[in-house]
Amino acid sequence: MKYATEYLWFNTKRHREYINITDSVEQIVQKSGIQEGMVLVSAMHITAGVYVNDAESGLIQDIDDWLEHLAPYRQDYRHHHTGETNGDAHLKSLLIHHEVIVPITKGKLDLGPWQQIYYAEFDGQRRKRVIVKVMGD
């Protein structure tokens, strides 16, 4: 089995942002030369996430609204007693989760017809990264 590891770096302009990283992950898979296997895409920060869904702007806004409804920004999170103000970002990350595994078939991401890979930032405007680890033969 072969492995290839690369990192994607982000410094978002907004506090919350959703970035389609499918093409970047696909390029890393192709560069690896791995034909059959899987790729792990994982946010390396506890206030960000990675998910697979449709690249439709209305749905992306619905996801953001849903997350804000379930984990709204508030002043009274216990986490804020540490001096931080991003308690909601930690909870949003738990809801989205921090990683996905996508199959690789014939050297390409084997996604469904509408599936795309997204980086979800919940405490942005600072430098963060995602690991992309390709595994297979």
Mean predicted confidence (pLDDT) in 33-37? 98
Q: What single-letter amino acid sits at 135?
A: M
Mean predicted confidence (pLDDT) in 66-87? 94
CA within 13 Å, CB half, 7: 8
Task: Report residue 71 as tokens.
Answer: 């984990």
pLDDT score for 80: 92
pLDDT score for 75: 92
pLDDT score for 44: 98
pLDDT score for 123: 97
Dump the DSSP string for 30-89.
Answer: HHHT--SEEEEEEESSTTEEEEEEE--HHHHHHHHHHHHHHS---S--GGGGGT---HHH
Confidence of residue 68 (pLDDT cuts 50, 70, 90): very high
- Full domain range(s) for residue 84: 2-136
Task: Indicate which CATH number applies to the domain containing 92.
Answer: 2.60.120.460
CB burial class (10 A; 0-12, 13-18, 19+) of residue 53?
middle
CA–CA dist 51, 5 (Å, integer): 19
pLDDT score for 12: 96
pLDDT score for 7: 98
pLDDT score for 120: 98
For the segment 82-117, what is each residue's pLDDT rounded down to a tens digit?
A: 999 999 999 999 999 999 999 999 999 999 999 999
Whether 89 contacts 128, CB under 8 Å: no
Number of domains in the chain: 1
Average pLDDT score over the chain:
97
CA–CA dist 50, 98 (Å, integer): 5
pLDDT score for 99: 98
pLDDT score for 102: 98
